[in-house]
Chains A and B, each alone.
Chain A
Amino acid sequence: MIESNGEQIIRSNCRGCHGGCGVLVHIKDGRITKLEGDPECPTNHGTMCGKGLAYLQLVYHPDRVTYPLKSAGKKGEGKWQRISWDEALDTIVNKYKEIIPKHGPEAIVIGQGTSRDYAGFLYRFANLLGTPNVITAGHMCYISRLGATLITCGFMPICDYNGHPNCVMVWGSNIVWTHTDEYKAENMSRVLAEGAKLIVIDPRLTYLAGRADIWLQLRPGTDTALALGMANVIISEGLYDKGFVEKYTYGWDKFVERVKEYPLDKVERITWVPAEKIRDAARLYAETKPACIQWGVAIEQTINCTDSNRILTDLMAITGNLDIPGGNVFFTPPPVRTIGEFGMHQELSVEQRKKQLGGDTYKLAQIVALVTPKMVWDAILTSKPYPVKAIQLHGTNPVITRANASEVYQALSQVDFLVVSDFFLTPTAELADIVLPAATWLELNYIGSYYMRSGYIFPRKKIVQIGECWPEHKMFNELGKRLGQEQHWFDTVEDGLNYILEPASLTWEQFKDMPYVRGDMEYRKYEKKGFSTPTKKVELYSTIFEEWGYDPLPRYREIPESPVSKPEVAREYPYILTAGARSPVFFHSEHRMIPWLREIHPDPVVEIHPRTAEKHGIKEGDWVFIESPRGRIKQRAKLTTGIDPRVVAAEHGWWFPEVQTPDHGWDESNINIITDNNPEGYDVAMGSTNLRVLLCKIYPVEE
């Protein structure tokens, strides 16, 4: 704590997105006056993004939910009554105590969004409650990458920017705008400053695509085919690391056979990328050492989720770039209790685990303890395979962010009992029976970057108390105690933090004054221990998938709704929609109510090629209907030659907090009104929903 001019400055750690940036919090007279980057933090060196810098406007926003509420009318009617925390918790607990004897704990679903860093507490609560049904964003974001890489090489390989990569292949990621987890925009500035070779795979011309040595503008959703084509070049031209392949990979011959099914002329037909460019990119990546792959979430939100992740991991492996300085590495974690251990997964009985919705079908999702959300909506609407009676959601707005939003809305409107904890009355919270006021990262003590694989943890400190807002950690702690889980919970959340920090011989009191704790990094750990897979090698051919009955080798599956797979649909809906283009000032469905951010990005934007726009009489700035076989929404046209004339790119996450009706315009511009959650389009192992690629038509909104 530093003091100057009657102002205190406290060091903390942002969580405006997934967070991880060091922040200096200025306080005067008990009020936060300013947030700025901490120049001494090793992950951001004082830099910050707009979302973090505008956070004051979120903390002190007049529309924050600051005390518990119960619905005082019909669901979604917008009538609320203030209640005490005791009443809120007792209502929830009594309801659960009613449900469990009749329907079992599996009838209660616990959910989160991207997790505002409470996954460990959430899973501990769910597992002790006995429900195997947890929904998160993980089935198509990050956890799917984690699952796919765990079975392939035993860890999730992270781009080692500090190790000075000489080539970076940015695959479906706009890291300079929105990527977090282990990565910060600053990392990419470093790549550009040091002049490393840059390959960008993206259907849109982003800033990075423009700066790249090679930009591969692929047909949306065909990433796996493109990567298999690159592997084909690397193998047929002998550019792979023969020593590594021989010693540390499993299934090479079968892998080579599979890769041969993807000659460049075929890959060009699938991906639209000229064979010559694919060859150049493959050579540049394989021949420049060290090289790393910076992957983004786009590749996980299609039917090819697991195989996209697997083939990229395979590329890292066969070029010898795994766990070397400047390659893709496993950062040694700080020596604290893992989220998995804290989450008490071992407490969930085998019998209960077997009841996980969709568990038998999506085995990879089952081992990372996730349910693909449609299974929950179906269970509510059809009572099959058994009824879901209650949902408790934390920091998630699924009527905006999950595929087939209309079905989500219907399910959440019909479920017997819905609890939502959030900062604001989102369109999802408006459907709740009980709304709990959640604390932001400036209102709680926690461990920043705890779940990340960057090798760091940072203290995140409570600076202010807003109304009666509680950290979610405290909600789980107190609900757990009231549900007979006393022996597993803590007097205070900080006692829980002590338990997490214990293996590092630290207490929260000690840790909170430290800049960070970092694991001791060691490269090439596989030389001593092998890889943490059944064969101790990188499994190019997955023995786990073989056992589970999935294809052990990665392959490209055609996107279920594309001009190739559904030519008859494409006649009416001729354009490929790539959904989920990001803005640098919003985090998924958050931040639309923050004045400084909304001023920068007032409307949802759909990118259209000028030639395509002209065909439909669409001009720059026009409101445009984007229609799929499932419905239509409107966004504002931005004409750009940076997109293929056959492709349209729309934004996700839109609702309108300024719309005063309780639905807050949830279905006007929400891209998930037109996405599909038909299981035919799911990744076979992970159950990932296709949020990204579908067919659409566009036309101007007539005034």
Chain B
Amino acid sequence: MTKEYTLIVNTKDCFGCNACEVACKQEHNLPIGPRLIRVYSDGPREIEGKPQLRYEVAHCMHCSQPPCKSVCPVDAITKREDGIVLINEELCIGCKDCIDACPLGVMHFDEKHGIAQKCDLCVDRIELGLSPACVNACPGYCIYFGDVSEVSRRVGKHRLLTQYKDFSG
């Protein structure tokens, strides 16, 4: 069965270091402007009975029924069998309808090429058997990547404790 990839951030463990943002910029060689994954400060607010400072991380959820795809007048956006929602750069006409349609505000506009831009889950890396760049860089180990059927289950156990042998002891 084909995998259906997704990416989940356990924001409880995110300490707002922005490494994911820079890893993404570098991987996709992005200019100033598009921030395909973006960290927002959340708080201070009361959590578990005490003041806490947390972070929210905005990124494409690769929705099962992507609004960006539905509004695209030229069918430039597809949802692949493996779950990844991609923009076909050849077809995109830069009308920005998808940017307006995205409820999460995580679609961007590439001014240089005049086309829409979004997280592609580092599809080139995935095809090489690697994790997306943001996942690898994250020192908080709070970004989880994998098949929809199992990734949310993994979030329950800190990635650091399962990923490396020398951390499990």
How many chain B residues touch the partner (CB < 8 A)? 39
Asked if A383 CB lies within 8 Å of chain B CBs, one says no
Question: For chain B residues 113-139, which have a beta carbon within 8 Å of chain A?
Answer: 133, 136-139
Whether A53 and B22, one on each chain, are in contact in the complex, defined by CB atoms closer than 8 angstroms, is yes
Whether A210 and B19, one on each chain, are in contact in the complex, defined by CB atoms closer than 8 angstroms, is no
Asked if B145 CB lies within 8 Å of chain A CBs, one says no
The residue that B44 contacts in the complex, of A39, A585, A642, with Cβ under 8 A, is A642
Residues of A contacting B137 with CB < 8 Å? 36-37, 46-48, 53
Whether B25 and A210, one on each chain, are in contact in the complex, defined by CB atoms closer than 8 angstroms, is no
Asked if B26 CB lies within 8 Å of chain A CBs, one says yes
Q: Please, how many angstroms separate the alpha-carbon atoms of A310 and B91 in the complex?
A: 66
Asked if A648 CB lies within 8 Å of chain B CBs, one says no
Closest A residue to B159 using CB positions: A193
Residues of B contacting A97 with CB < 8 Å? none
Q: Which of A103-111, A149-157, A593-601, A658-666 contacts B (4 or more CB under 8 A)?
A: A593-601
Q: Please, how many angstroms separate the alpha-carbon atoms of A42 and B55 in the complex?
A: 27
Q: Please, how many angstroms separate the alpha-carbon atoms of A282 and B23 in the complex?
A: 40
Whether A600 and B21, one on each chain, are in contact in the complex, defined by CB atoms closer than 8 angstroms, is yes
Whether A597 and B22, one on each chain, are in contact in the complex, defined by CB atoms closer than 8 angstroms, is yes
- The minimal Cβ–Cβ distance linking B32 to chain A, given in whole angstroms, is 5
Asked if B79 CB lies within 8 Å of chain A CBs, one says no
- The minimal Cβ–Cβ distance linking A645 to chain B, given in whole angstroms, is 14
Closest A residue to B47 using CB positions: A210
Q: Please, how many angstroms separate the alpha-carbon atoms of A642 and B45 in the complex?
A: 9
Asked if B160 CB lies within 8 Å of chain A CBs, one says yes
Residues of B contacting A641 with CB < 8 Å? 44, 51
Whether B21 and A50, one on each chain, are in contact in the complex, defined by CB atoms closer than 8 angstroms, is yes
Instruction: Given A36-B136, A207-B55, answer yes or no on A193-B26 (Cβ-Cβ < 8 Å).
Output: no
Whether A207 and B44, one on each chain, are in contact in the complex, defined by CB atoms closer than 8 angstroms, is no
Whether B18 and A211, one on each chain, are in contact in the complex, defined by CB atoms closer than 8 angstroms, is no
Question: For chain A residues 23-82, which have a beta carbon within 8 Å of chain B?
Answer: 34-37, 39, 42, 44-50, 53-54, 56
Q: Please, how many angstroms separate the alpha-carbon atoms of A207 and B17 in the complex?
A: 10
Whether B17 and A584, one on each chain, are in contact in the complex, defined by CB atoms closer than 8 angstroms, is yes
Q: Please, how many angstroms separate the alpha-carbon atoms of A597 and B164 in the complex?
A: 30
Whether A34 and B139, one on each chain, are in contact in the complex, defined by CB atoms closer than 8 angstroms, is no
Asked if B59 CB lies within 8 Å of chain A CBs, one says no
Residues of B contacting A44 with CB < 8 Å? 139
Whether B22 and A50, one on each chain, are in contact in the complex, defined by CB atoms closer than 8 angstroms, is yes
Whether B53 and A596, one on each chain, are in contact in the complex, defined by CB atoms closer than 8 angstroms, is no
Q: Please, how many angstroms separate the alpha-carbon atoms of A53 and B22 in the complex?
A: 6
- Interface CB pairs A-B, < 8 A, 30: A46-B136, A47-B19, A47-B136, A47-B141, A48-B19, A48-B23, A50-B22, A54-B25, A54-B26, A176-B140, A177-B16, A177-B17, A185-B139, A186-B139, A189-B13, A189-B158, A193-B167, A205-B51, A207-B16, A207-B54, A210-B43, A210-B47, A210-B50, A210-B54, A211-B52, A585-B18, A585-B22, A596-B21, A641-B51, A642-B44
The 7 A-B pairs with the shortest beta carbon distances in the complex, nearest first, are: A210-B52, A193-B158, A185-B139, A50-B22, A47-B139, A176-B15, A53-B22
